Amino acid sequence: MAGIAHRIVETNGIRMHVAEQGSGPAVLLCHGFPESWYSWRHQLQALAAAGYRAVAPDMRGYGRTDRPAEIEKYTTLHHVGDMVGLLDALGEQTAVIVGHDWGAPVAWNCALMRPDRFRAAMVLSVPYSPRGSVRPTAALRQVAGDHFMYMLHFQEPGVAEVELEGDVRATLRRVLYSASGDAPPEHGWRPIMPKTARFLDTLTDPTLLPAWLTEADLDLYTSEFQRTGFRGGLSWYRAMDLTWELMAAYHHAKVVQPALFVAGDRDLVIAMQRRALDQMKETVPGLRRLVMLPGCGHWTQQERPAEVNAEMITFLRGLDG
């Protein structure tokens, strides 16, 4: 894409691919599952035009960034360490951290753990949830009961890989469509299903792509995951319990940095985490603005780039006076 520079940097013991555009105060953009730096394609240009240095890495386990084999190398502490090391590699002392989906807890925890390096957070889709008293997989089993639950399905190494990699393009097409605001309720993502279900059973394969996702976009995502497989991204789910163990010192900790939160009102993640959303004025005392985009689903910055860009730039300019 025009104006975007690509390079490999060394950070936290891995080689990380980054896409960057612009100059000025640094903004780091952390993607989620199953995505890549490309999910921020609309924000890189807009932030650069507004006077910022926008940097979107392929996160650990994705794209052209290293994919360690060990699950224990995918904890939140590793991901925060990657972002701190990325700042060092870029020669930046501070940045505003941005995250979507799995990148959201990375952004929240960067602000929580290293407020000296991350002066503010802009987070999409996933509200802040302080470290609680129950192991994540135990909490998920309690919620799921005798039903299929995708995060638990993802725990066993090799099982989800076989399913998702059978037809990579169809998997991505289903995921991106079904979790979007374009899918009608009968075709939308169904995260809790009968016990006999598989992950792809929770999704619908569309006859037409939504307007925000082109065949060329899908080509790029498909080529990346055909090359890398899904194991790197799935390892983030498999490290949840270890993250919980290692973060005992942050039990019930609040994020005090200035924050912006944006999500779609048709995002099922919001429905599943409504309590966390409702508690954010208490758990994120620095929250300056909470925006719910009507009709938008889970892929916030891709479905509604103009609105997201405007919110980000307004927030950033408020920080910089």
Catalytic annotation, residues = 101, 298
Other CB atoms within a 10 A radius of the CB of residue 260 amount to 25
- Alpha helix stretches (DSSP H) within 179-273: 215-228, 231-238, 240-246, 268-272
Task: Tell me 185's DSSP state.
Answer: G
Q: Rounded to whole angstroms, how far apart are CA atoms 130 and 9?
A: 31
Q: Rounded to whole angstroms, how far apart are CA atoms 73 and 254?
A: 25
Whose CA is closest to 43, among 58, 32, 28? 28
Residue that has been written with the tokens 């957070």 in this structure: 121
One-letter amino acid of 143: V
Whose CA is closest to 56, among 76, 74, 36? 36
Q: Rounded to whole angstroms, how far apart are CA atoms 314 and 138?
A: 40
Token couple for 204: 């619908």
> Would you say 80 and 110 are in contact if contact means Cβ atoms under 8 Å apart?
yes
